[in-house]
Structures are given as structure tokens and as C-alpha cells.
Structure 1
Amino acid sequence: MTKKRKAWLLTGLLFLLAIAAGIAFYFWNQTKEEELPRGTLVKAVAWEEESHE
């Protein structure tokens, strides 16, 4: 196997790994959000901004 081909293979594997990690992270966040009432974080951020004014 040539060096160029090896480099492309490594790049491809890293790319697929990054996509897999992104999907896993997305689903992990989705399940985590279900534990909290929807919009809790948004309300907390809005309240923080109001208190700074």
C-alpha cells in the first residue's frame, strides 16, 4: 500500500469516526434533555441576562 493511499484511508476513518461521534453526542443530548422540563436552560439564560441589566 502506498503512503498516499494509507493517508487517504486514515483520513476517511477519522472522518467517519467524527460523524459517528457527532451522531452519538446528538442522541446523548436528546435523551439527557428529556429528564429536564423543556426550555429550562433557555429560561435560566434569559433570567441571567435580565439580572445583569
Structure 2
Amino acid sequence: MKYYIITGTSSGIGEALAKRILNKEEKNQVISLSRRGNIELEKLAEIRKK
């Protein structure tokens, strides 16, 4: 398992990078920092948790 800290995940490159890491088959952990929340990433993370 790898851990990633990504900034700016509310949109743009940070969002795309977080999605790419979460969509991998491996069990990766993403710690994201942003000014605004990103509901789509939150849902993706919940799905991957199960």
C-alpha cells in the first residue's frame, strides 16, 4: 500500500491525479488538501473503501 498527499484536489491537475490513483487496482491511500470539497472524489473514496 502506498500513501499519497495531493494538494489542490478540488479541481484541475490535483483532482485528476487523485482520481487516477484511486482508480488503480492497488489499495492506495490518498490524503487530499484543498480549499473546497470535491463530492465526486469523496464518493469514489467511499466506493474504494469497501
Structure 2 length normalisation: TM-score? 0.29
Structure with greater proportional strand content: 2
Structure with greater proportional helix content: 1
- Report 1 or 2 for greater relative contact order, CA contacts < 8 Å, sequence distance ≥ 6: 2
The structure number with the bigger radius of gyration is: 1
Structure 1 length normalisation: TM-score? 0.27
